Amino acid sequence: MEYSRIKALLEKYWEAETSLEEESELKTFFNSDAVPNDLEEYKYLFVYFSEEQKKVSTIKDEELLGFIEKQEQGEAPTKMVSMWYSNYSKIAAVLLFLVVATFFINKELSDENIERFNKETFETPEEAFAETKKALQMLSKNLGKGKKEAKKIAVFNKAQEEIKN
């Protein structure tokens, strides 16, 4: 194809005066490897148009005919399958989460667990009292020990004050 002809066609193209045949001529030219450097910047525009035209939908004929058949049989049109599907899957995910969560919470709060805390460990009240007393005494003994040590800190405080004065 002559270079000058392409240039002239391109000018006509920008003025929106080309015919469909001339436009397809341009497309063929720019999709070839023979594009001179000074027309390089427009190359990809025409490549883009050609590539876009190759794009096909992912819808199958049978799928569409299936819809029409269903319509024929008087069933409610099941359009927007994909949207419905995604909506239902969201609901299903939430339900699944709730079921799993309830299962674990139930297990945690099961009678067995609660009984473990409520079980009676002593036969008589006296025994229980003695045991509690023992425990509290141990606690107070340890607290007393801690207090004795803490008193030593007071020495530091005193020393600090003396230094300050």
Partner 1 sequence: MSLEQFKNNVLPVKDKLFRFAYRLLNDEAEAKDVVQEVFIKVWNKRAGLNDLKNTEAWCMTLTKNLSYDKLKSKRVKTTDPLDGHHFQIETRNESPYKSTELKDAMGKINELMRGLPDKQRQVVHLRDVDGFSYKEICDIMKLDMNQVKINLFRARKSLRDNLLKINAYGI
**Is there a contact between 25 and 3 (Cβ–Cβ < 8 Å)?**
no
Of 75 and 131, CB closest to partner 1: 75
Residue with structure tokens 């004050």? 161
* Rounded Cα distance, 133 and 38, in Å: 101
**Residue 67 CB partners (closer than 8 Å, separation 6+):** 77, 78, 79
Among 9, 22, 25, 47, the residue binding partner 1 under the rule CB under 8 A is: 47
Contact residues for 13 (Cβ-Cβ < 8 A; gap 6+): 22, 23, 26
Can you tell me the distance from the alpha carbon of 9 to that of 29, in angstroms, rounded to the nearest whole number?
Answer: 11
Among 24, 132, 137, 140, binds partner 1 (CB under 8 A): 24
Q: Is residue 96 at the binding interface for partner 1, with CB under 8 A as the rule?
A: no
* Inter-CA distances, 58 with 20, 41, 61, 64, Å: 28, 32, 10, 11
Say whether residue 42 binds partner 1 (CB under 8 A).
Answer: yes
- Residue of the chain from 1, 8, 68, 96 that contacts partner 1 (CB under 8 A): 68
Q: Contact with partner 1 (CB under 8 A): which of 4, 34, 37, 61?
A: 61
Is the Cβ–Cβ distance between 70 and 81 less than 8 Å? no
The least CB distance from residue 97 to partner 1, in Å, is 25
Stretch touching partner 1 by CB under 8 A, among 58-66, 109-117, 140-148, 150-158: 58-66
64 or 98, CB closer to partner 1?
64
Q: Exactly one of 2, 4, 34, 59 binds partner 1 (CB under 8 A); which one?
A: 59
Interface with partner 1 (CB under 8 A):
13-16, 20, 23-24, 40-42, 44-45, 47-49, 51-53, 55-59, 61, 63-65, 67-68, 71, 77, 79-80, 82-83
